[in-house]
Amino acid sequence: MAQEITLKDRFGYMLWMRHFELACLEGVPTREIHGELHTAVGQEAISAGMVGFLTQEDAMCSTHRNHMHAIAKGVDMRAMLAEIFEKSTGICGGFGGHMHIFDAALKFSATGIVGAGVPVALGHAYAARLKQNQAVAVAVIGDGAVNTGAFHEAMNMAGTLALPLIVVVENNEWAISVPFSASSATETIAERAPAWKAHGVRVDGLNVEEVTHAFESAIMRARSGGGPSIIEAMCYRFRGHFEGDADMYRTKEEKERRRAQDPIDLTRKTLISKGLATLEELEETEKSVAAAISEMLSSVRSDSSPLGKDALKYVFAE
């Protein structure tokens, strides 16, 4: 399946991810979206590199910054956008909001608790071992999550039992306002992998081809009984930790310099330099994606909101 997905296809996914999140941003100033909204603008290459390798039986456990991961897993974008905009047509009926996207059929889940997705993914990996169905479990986390007890305990068990667990660490170098260099005893996260009998690799998370290769290798290793893997993908979030974050902990110079390395621009240049597409073709693709997302957003905005009388629905067991 993954072999049929070309670099041009992955570029297309990156565009869908970018414009989906830009649509989400429209709901913040209008108060259509309440609470914190976390976006991953600038980190598209990581999720796009995971597209096509996971089956319906494979599980993916994400974070508060989950939209792109959900798209990579195949979650319906309109249902997800409706959930984020708190509509009754949302994938969770509008009750979960953007931090709690959940699709049972695709075994996709997200949590706002830092590091909490790793032990959930571990459970899926152990279930796959018991069922002997060749399924794998993927946990996507940020660099701040690797310093939690949940991460260590889950990795230790995965290594002990050689479970098919893949942990993708989106190392954007900032755990909210704390730089990675100030919170890690090791220079990299990947180098910690041997402590849990796991395979560790650090990749350029702005290079979708590099991410694709690393993820494919981890998938093959997991399915063949090779045990857990940690993929540390270096990246940079273009916006603050959440919408409303003053983002004063990063200098203006740093942000301007790092945002100049846009993974979408880098992939576009690669496609053109390799003769795989023309600038005109890629610009037309982006126009088409932007128009489709705009139409989707307009449609979602016309949907109804959950009824007040259902406020306690799904809160208690019935």
pLDDT in tens, 67-102: 999 999 999 999 999 999 999 999 999 999 999 999
C-beta separation of 227 from 174 below 8 A: no
Give, for 70, the enclosing helix (H) or strand (E): helix 67-73
Share above pLDDT 70 across residues of the chain, in percent, rounded to a whole number: 99
Q: What are the tokens at 109? A: 């889940």
Dump pLDDT digits (tens) for 102-133.
999 999 999 999 999 999 999 999 999 999 99
Longest dimension (CA), the chain: 59
Q: What size, in residues, is the chain?
A: 318
C-beta separation of 254 from 247 below 8 A: no
Smallest Cα–Cα separation from 98: which of 13, 33, 9?
A: 33
Q: Is 59 exposed, middle or buried (0-12, 13-18, 19+ CB in 10 A)?
A: buried
Question: Which of 240-254, 258-272, 300-314 comes out lowest in average pLDDT?
Answer: 300-314
Distance CA(264)–CA(207), nearest Å, equals 9
Smallest Cα–Cα separation from 75: which of 65, 95, 90, 63?
A: 90
- The sign of the CA dihedral 302, 73, 108, 233 is negative
Alpha helices in 105-262 (DSSP H): 117-131, 149-161, 208-223, 252-259
Q: What are the tokens at 257? A: 């310099």
What confidence score (pLDDT) does residue 1 get? 44
What confidence score (pLDDT) does residue 4 get? 86
What confidence score (pLDDT) does residue 3 get? 52
Taking CA atoms, 118 is separated from 150, 244, 288, 304, in Å, by 7, 28, 36, 35
Mean pLDDT of the chain: 96
Paired strand residues for 108: 60, 103
pLDDT at 213 over 90: yes
